[in-house]
Amino acid sequence: MEAASIAHAGHGEHHGPPPAHKSSRVDPQLLGMLLFIISEVMVFGAFFTAYFFIRVANGDPWPATHTQLPVLPTFFNTLILVSSSFTMHWAQTAIKKGNRLALKAGILTTFLLGCTFLFLQINEYANIGFAPQDHAQGTIFYSLTGLHGAHVTIGLILLLFVTIRAFRGHYSSEEHRGVEIPGIYWHFVDVMWIIVYATVYLI
């Protein structure tokens, strides 16, 4: 890489591309994240299709006979995840005002709340009393909550990056897209959980 850049340095007329014309007020990174979220919603859509076919089209009992879902403990877990959306929002508004201390506190709290959610979810798997191999209802339960858990994990990795960068002194009131865009993903993960919780546990 170094050698290449030296070799090209001889043709030093260009120092980079001309700045692209901004033909939209939408931020490219923001738009990219929104489109990514659309395709993520469609992945969930496919898993909900499987849920529909097994629960509605097959008409099988939900949850499977002799099993029950821990509706109330998961409700508290839901509250944990939802509250992490509020701390995320706190961090986002803080950095817009240039408050770096509140950014650090907010992003760290969000990260830890997300970890707590994931830990409780795994704990629920360990104690729920049925496995995905047992019946189709178990398959759907584990798939939908597991797919969501995978998204929580992706969100946590993004939040970890933001946390590291926040503690290393990045972000300011002018440059805070790096907080905002992972934040949008985190809100999406939370909203998705409310839908998963409502369809899998409540109705």
Partner 1 sequence: MVARFKTPGFYRALLGTALGGVFATALTWIVRMSTGHATFHHYLSGEAILTVSLIACPIFFVIGLGVFDYWFHWAAGRPTRPEDHSNHGAFTWKDYFKVNTDHKVIGVQYVVTSFIFLLIGGLIAMLMRAELAQPGAQFVDANTYNGLFSVHASILIFFFIIPVFAGLANYVLPLMIGAPDMAFPRLNALSFWLLPLGGIVMLSSFLAPGGSFANGWTAYAPLSTAAPVGQNFFSIGVQFAGASSIATALNFLVTIITMRAPGMSFFRMPLLVWANFSTSLLVVIATPFVAASQFFNLLDRSLGFNFFNAAKGGNVLMYQHVFWFYSHPAVYIMMLPGFGIISEILATKARKPIFGYRMMAFSLLAIVVLGFTVWAHHMFTSGMPAWVRIPMAITTVVIAVPTGIKIFSWLATLWRGVLHLDTSMLFALGFLTTFTLGGISGVMLAMIPFDIHVSASYFIVAHIHYVLFGGSLMTIFAGVYYWFPKMTGRMYDERLGKWHFWSTFVFFNLTFAPMHILGLQGMPRRVATYSAQFADLNLMISICSWLLGLSTLVFVYNIVTSWRGGPRAVANPWRAMTLEWQVSSPPPVFNFDKVPTVVGGPYEYGIPGAVHGILEPAHVGGAREPAGVSSGTHMSGE
Rule CB under 8 A: which residues touch partner 1? 1, 4-5, 8, 11, 13-24, 26-28, 31-32, 35-36, 38-40, 42-43, 45-47, 49-50, 53-54, 57-58, 60, 64, 131-139, 142-143, 160-161, 164-165, 167-168, 170
For residues 73 and 129, which CB has a smaller minimum distance to partner 1 in the complex? 129
Collapsed DSSP state (helix, strand, coil) of residue 47: helix
Structure tokens at 71: 């509706």
Q: Are 86 and 117 in contact (CB under 8 A)?
A: no
| CA 33 – CA 156 distance, rounded (Å) | 16
Structure tokens at 127: 């104690």
CB of 25 to partner 1, least distance (A): 9
CB of 186 to partner 1, least distance (A): 16
For residues 77 and 147, which CB has a smaller minimum distance to partner 1 in the complex? 147
DSSP conformational letter for 202: I
CB of 163 to partner 1, least distance (A): 9
CB of 80 to partner 1, least distance (A): 25
Structure tokens at 175: 């440059």
Q: For residue 144, give the H/E element and its range.
A: helix 136-167
